[in-house]
């Protein structure tokens, strides 16, 4: 099935900041107004001076004979003069104090050594110091560290930090071909090697999964029963020895519960719709069409929260391709043989004899091919206006009579009340009509047949649903078919697969556990500081006109940034009650069936949710109504921790937050501000000069998308640094790691971030850490120069 999006999202955003000169006063990123200063105080001396002048003028026009008045005026003038001198002295002292404060602040932030800073000795900081020591330090090895692009294969595997994720499975640099992990079912890699490999990956999604893994594996018996059930499910999934020992027997037993099957034993010739309802309701299996819940996209602009049952084409098992000339899906002859071999293998694993196997293979492929003809890819259905077709269940019944629609939908979405006049949304009505016609034809043709082709079709679809809980022979068969079709699949670590499956059923439990461990105060503070710096950045840009600035400022000012907090089930008592009717054993197959039941229960609840449910695995912010929401999954170790030095938190998380905000709020900034082009070209000139690509004629011009992404990441780093200074001004102390100065720790932490796996990483033409080199050119921000002795042309580079 081609997944239908719930919302059509617009393309993302971008930004910049000017750099300070070593000879100039403190740079703009550090400029602050005088704290707590009343404007009237700064103007008072001039008022007094004017008053003195007026008084003197009146004295010169007064009779000399009025000696007593002159004496009194003289005394008054002296008092005023003394008062003036007093105010002037106070103003001078206050100015000196502020200057010294700013000087000390800058000195504290940019000093080469942080000997006076308190070392951070928390467990999180100890782990962070080990991580920092594993990477090359930009301030001790500046010459070659930054000089490759995202995806470069220039460096060998023994280059440590310079390798930057090249060849790391799952890293965004390798997304063109899915990475293969060394661990398969029942096989573990050495814990030490795994730790070294995964510790070097600062991919946000991988970091979150690792963090959730630690939470699940650390749950003890004192936790709530819901948390214990989540851990029990996760543990049974990891027990591959028991799964392998069980073989196909659990699935053969399940077949009997859904009416039997002619291949594996007696078929009870159950009613077609009854079997279909059973598969959809209890086993989350949708052989002929797909069901989910969501808003009507055509109504979303009106602020409605109403959700509809949405009916779509299914995930077909047979491999097909789209013929753009005939606008039909078709099965290619060269794909039929590997698909037939996989069917034969499945039937053999389920105990079918070779003679009976041929009959079921033939009818299954024939029925699959007929259904596939009416399926269509999402872009075609979108162009034909086939999405979000609204009709009542009664109207749908008239168009596709082979399915008992009201009965099916009531069973799947129980206990939600449904009637024939309720509306549903169709995403491929021609397929639904065609599917009903095919089922009707096969029911009439094979109704009395002992082979039961429709039952075979449904059982093999159920097999693919349950395959994750079966022994490795089944998944290997599926993998071999995928390879034969020219696909490459990611074989993930078993723990990661089990974690993702656990999240499907225990979303609310993991949300609660994650919320308990999220440091809300520190996360909110960094969000607010970065967002404040972002808004100040907007005024520094050169906009094409005032209207463009006002438009984005209006949009920005209307948003309230906040950390996500769930409004759904949250307390342990409520969670225990919700999961009270499910129990888990040591059998993963049995537990997996319970998981499907939980997933179906969650699906039915979507119809009545009044608020959007946030994906717990989300690691980027999103806009909901007038709120800019940051998922809790962003603020996890090793990217963020409340005991970290703030320089480390802002160098990593501050940068990522700023980059996300720029992408989200300024999707098309290139055409709105000339600054994007200027800064993008300036940074690129730095890169070509330092790498000497320009002299060798290897340089190329950046596209608009590349210039914009360079500007985004450069601006994000500036915003993060400014936000850190804002935090440091409010709380002028910080801890340190490895004795690094604050600025050095800020930049060194930032340099650990690999080419981040957001949708824009493909447009970044250089390693993000190179931006440190650009910021440190002719700047008093950095504790040490990053120039290489053999690259004297760097002396002529300008600030961007």
CB atoms within 10 A of CB 543: 18
Residues 97 and 170 in one domain: no
Residues 445 and 314 in one domain: yes
Residues 54 and 171 in one domain: no
Q: Residue 418 sits in a domain of what CATH number?
A: 1.10.1380.10
Residue 122 lies in a domain: yes
Mean pLDDT value of segment 12-40: 36
Q: What is the pLDDT of residues 406-455, one digit of tens each?
A: 999 999 999 999 999 999 999 999 999 999 999 999 998 876 566 689 99
User: Residues 264, 278: contact at Cβ < 8 Å?
Assistant: no
Residue 25 lies in a domain: no
Contacts of 472 (CB under 8 A, 6+ apart): 184, 185, 186, 240, 244
Nearest CA-CA partner of 730 in 237, 116, 35:
35
d(CA 464, CA 700) in angstroms, rounded, equals 49
Range of the domain at 683: 118-156+164-175+645-796
Mean pLDDT value of segment 172-196: 33
Is the bond preceding residue 202 a cis peptide, omega within 30 degrees?
no
Q: What pLDDT shows up at residue 104?
A: 46
d(CA 132, CA 225) in angstroms, rounded, equals 39
Residues 130 and 101 in one domain: no
Count of domains for the chain: 3
CB-neighbour burial class of residue 335 (10 A; exposed 0-12, middle 13-18, buried 19+): middle
Q: What pLDDT shows up at residue 139?
A: 83
Residue 307 lies in a domain: yes
CA 416, 420, 422, 423 torsion-angle sign: positive
Torsion, Cα of 363, 368, 369, 374 (10° steps) = 140
| pLDDT of 790 above 70 | no
Residue 171's pLDDT band (boundaries 50, 70, 90)?
A: very low
Residues 418 and 279 in one domain: yes
| pLDDT of 327 above 60 | yes
Mean pLDDT value of segment 717-739: 94
- Greatest Cα pair distance, the chain, in angstroms, is 138
DSSP state of 310: E
User: Could you say which of 412, 445, 469 is where a domain stops?
Assistant: 469
Residue 315 lies in a domain: yes
User: Could you say which of 469, 495, 521 is where a domain stops?
Assistant: 469
CB-neighbour burial class of residue 557 (10 A; exposed 0-12, middle 13-18, buried 19+): exposed
d(CA 285, CA 255) in angstroms, rounded, equals 13
Q: What is the pLDDT of residues 122-162, one digit of tens each?
A: 999 999 999 998 877 888 877 655 655 654 433 332 333 33
CA 258, 263, 264, 268 torsion-angle sign: positive
Contacts of 103 (CB under 8 A, 6+ apart): none
**What is the β-pairing status of strands 622-624 and 627-630?**
antiparallel
- The better pLDDT of the pair 45, 687 is held by 687
Which residues are 309's β-sheet partners?
293, 424
Q: What pLDDT shows up at residue 610?
A: 62
User: Residues 642, 522: contact at Cβ < 8 Å?
Assistant: yes
Residue 73 lies in a domain: yes
Residues 137 and 284 in one domain: no
Q: What pLDDT shows up at residue 693?
A: 72
Report the interhelical angle of 742-750 vs 67-110 (nearest 10°). Answer: 40
CB atoms within 10 A of CB 266: 10
Mean pLDDT value of segment 463-480: 96
Using alpha carbons, list the distances in angstroms from residue 438 to 271, 400, 604.
Answer: 17, 10, 29
Q: Each residue of 4-16: b (16+ CB within 10 Å) or e?
A: bebeeeeebbbbb
Residues 711 and 662 in one domain: yes
Residue 385 lies in a domain: yes
User: Residues 150, 166: contact at Cβ < 8 Å?
Assistant: no
Using alpha carbons, list the distances in angstroms from residue 547 to 412, 551, 559, 669.
Answer: 51, 6, 19, 13
Residues 125 and 274 in one domain: no
Residue 475 lies in a domain: no
- The better pLDDT of the pair 353, 709 is held by 709
Mean pLDDT value of segment 379-397: 96
Q: What's the predicted TM-score (pTM) here? A: 0.77
User: Could you say which of 422, 454, 469 is where a domain stops?
Assistant: 469
Residues 124 and 270 in one domain: no
CB-neighbour burial class of residue 745 (10 A; exposed 0-12, middle 13-18, buried 19+): buried
DSSP 370-422: HHHTT---HHHHHHTT-TTEEEEHHHHHHH-TTS-HHHHHHHHTTTS---TT-
Which residues are 735's β-sheet partners?
118
Residues 274 and 380 in one domain: yes
d(CA 342, CA 357) in angstroms, rounded, equals 12
d(CA 286, CA 277) in angstroms, rounded, equals 9
Nearest CA-CA partner of 289 in 428, 444, 456:
428
Q: What pLDDT shows up at residue 299?
A: 79
| pLDDT of 652 above 60 | yes
Residue 638 lies in a domain: no
Residues 763 and 688 in one domain: yes
Is the bond preceding residue 191 a cis peptide, omega within 30 degrees?
no
Residues 262 and 369 in one domain: yes
Contacts of 432 (CB under 8 A, 6+ apart): 289, 311, 313, 396, 399, 400, 426
């Amino acid at each position: 099935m081609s997944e239908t999006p719930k919302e059509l999202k617009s393309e993302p955003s971008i930004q910049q900041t000017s750099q300070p000169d070593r000879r100039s006063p403190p740079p703009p990123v550090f400029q602050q107004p005088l704290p707590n200063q009343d404007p009237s105080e700064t103007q008072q001396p001039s008022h007094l001076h004017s008053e003195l002048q007026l008084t003197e003028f009146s004295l010169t026009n007064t009779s000399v004979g009025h000696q007593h008045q002159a004496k009194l005026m003289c005394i008054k003038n002296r008092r005023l003069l003394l008062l003036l001198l007093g105010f002037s002295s106070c103003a001078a002292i206050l100015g000196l104090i502020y200057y010294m404060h700013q000087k000390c602040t800058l000195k504290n932030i940019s000093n080469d050594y942080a000997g006076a800073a308190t070392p951070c000795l928390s467990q999180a900081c100890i782990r962070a110091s080990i991580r920092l020591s594993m990477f090359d330090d930009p301030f001790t090895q500046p010459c070659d560290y930054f000089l490759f692009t995202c995806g470069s294969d220039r460096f060998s595997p023994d280059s440590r930090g310079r390798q930057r994720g090249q060849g790391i499975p799952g890293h965004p640099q390798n997304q063109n071909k899915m990475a293969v992990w060394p661990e398969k079912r029942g096989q573990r890699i050495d814990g030490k090697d795994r730790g070294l490999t995964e510790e070097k990956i600062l991919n946000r999604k991988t970091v979150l999964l690792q963090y959730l893994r630690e939470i699940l594996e650390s749950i003890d018996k004192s936790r709530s029963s819901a948390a214990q059930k989540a851990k029990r499910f996760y543990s049974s999934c990891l027990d591959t020895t028991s799964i392998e020992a069980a073989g196909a027997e659990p699935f053969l037993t399940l077949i009997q519960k859904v009416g039997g099957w002619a291949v594996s034993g007696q078929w009870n010739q159950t009613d077609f719709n009854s079997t279909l309802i059973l598969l959809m309701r209890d086993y989350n299996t949708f052989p002929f069409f797909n069901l989910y819940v969501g808003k009507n996209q055509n109504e979303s602009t009106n602020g409605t929260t109403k959700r509809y049952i949405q009916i779509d084409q299914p995930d077909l098992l047979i491999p097909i391709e789209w013929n753009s000339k005939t606008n039909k899906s078709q099965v290619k002859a060269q794909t039929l043989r590997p698909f037939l071999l996989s069917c034969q293998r499945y039937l053999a694993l389920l105990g079918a004899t070779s003679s009976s196997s041929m009959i079921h293979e033939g009818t299954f492929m024939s029925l699959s091919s007929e259904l596939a003809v009416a399926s269509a890819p999402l872009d075609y259905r979108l162009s034909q206006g086939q999405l979000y077709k609204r009709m009542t269940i009664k109207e749908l019944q008239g168009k596709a009579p082979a399915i008992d629609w009201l009965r099916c939908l009531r069973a799947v979405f129980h206990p939600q009340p449904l009637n024939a006049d309720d509306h549903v949304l169709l995403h491929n009505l021609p397929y639904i009509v065609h599917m009903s016609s095919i089922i009707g034809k096969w029911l009439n043709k094979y109704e009395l047949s002992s082979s039961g082709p429709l039952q075979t079709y449904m059982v093999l679809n159920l097999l693919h649903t349950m395959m994750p809980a079966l022994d490795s022979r089944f998944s290997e068969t599926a993998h071999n078919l995928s390879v034969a079709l020219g696909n490459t699949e990611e074989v993930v670590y078993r723990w990661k697969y089990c974690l993702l499956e656990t999240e499907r059923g225990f979303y609310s439990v993991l949300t609660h556990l994650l919320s308990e461990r999220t440091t809300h105060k520190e996360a909110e503070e960094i969000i607010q500081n970065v967002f404040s710096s972002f808004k100040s950045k907007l005024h520094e840009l050169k906009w094409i006109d005032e209207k463009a600035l006002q438009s984005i400022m209006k949009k920005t000012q209307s948003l309230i940034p906040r950390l996500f907090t769930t409004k759904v089930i949250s307390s342990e008592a409520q969670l225990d009650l919700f999961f009270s009717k499910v129990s888990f054993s040591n059998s993963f197959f049995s537990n997996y069936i319970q998981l499907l039941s939980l997933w179906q229960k969650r699906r039915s609840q979507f119809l009545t949710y009044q608020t959007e449910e946030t994906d717990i695995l989300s690691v980027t912010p999103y806009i909901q109504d007038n709120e800019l929401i940051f998922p809790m999954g962003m603020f996890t170790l090793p990217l963020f921790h409340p005991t970290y030095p703030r320089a480390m938190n802002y160098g990593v998380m501050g940068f990522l937050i700023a980059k996300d905000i720029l992408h989200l709020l300024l999707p098309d900034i290139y055409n709105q501000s000339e600054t994007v082009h200027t800064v993008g070209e300036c940074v690129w000139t730095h890169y070509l000069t330092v790498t000497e690509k320009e002299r060798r004629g290897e340089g190329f011009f950046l596209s608009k998308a590349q210039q914009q992404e360079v500007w985004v990441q450069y601006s994000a780093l500036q915003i993060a640094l400014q936000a850190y200074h804002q935090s440091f001004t409010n709380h002028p102390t910080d801890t340190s790691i490895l004795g690094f100065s604050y600025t050095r720790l800020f930049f060194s932490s930032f340099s650990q971030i690999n080419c981040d796996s957001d949708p824009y990483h493909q447009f970044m033409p250089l390693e993000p850490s190179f931006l440190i080199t650009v910021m440190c050119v002719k700047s008093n921000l950095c504790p040490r120069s990053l120039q290489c002795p053999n690259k004297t042309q760097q002396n002529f580079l300008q600030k961007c």
